[in-house]
Amino acid sequence: MLQSFLRIRDVILKCVLRILLWVLGVATTAAYLIYTRTQRTNELFGGGQLVFTVPFVAFGIYRFIRIVSRTDKADSPTDSMLHDPAFVVNLVLYAAAVVAIVSYFAP
C-alpha cells in the first residue's frame, strides 16, 4: 500500500511541476509582451516594433519546456537545447530580428 501511495504521489508531483512550468512559461511570455509595449522600451528600441519578436520568445519557451519534460535527469537541459535544431534556429532568428529592429527603428 505504501508503494502504491508513493507511486501516485510521484505522478501527481510530476503533473503539478509540468503545469507549473507551463504557467510560468505563459507568464514569462506575457511579461515580455508587456515589456515590448512599454513607452520606455519603445523610445529606446524603435517605436513598438519589438513586439514582433514575441512569437520567437513564445516558441523558445515552448521548446524549452518540451526539452526539459523529455530530458532524463542525467542530461543537461542546456546541452539538450543547444543540440535541438528548432531551438537553435529560433534563437538565431530572434537575435537577427532584434538586431534588425534596433538598428533600423531605433532613434
Domain spans in the chain, listed from the N-terminal domain onward:
2-105
C-alpha cell at position 93: 532568428
**Residue 101 burial (CB < 10 Å; 0-12/13-18/19+)?**
buried
Determine the pLDDT at residue 74: 55
The tens place of each residue's pLDDT in the chain, 107 residues long, gives 667 766 777 778 888 888 999 999 999 999 999 999 999 988 888 778 899 999 999 999 999 999 888 866 657 788 888 889 999 999 999 999 999 998 888 77
Put simply, whether the predicted model's pTM sits higher than 0.85 gets the answer: no
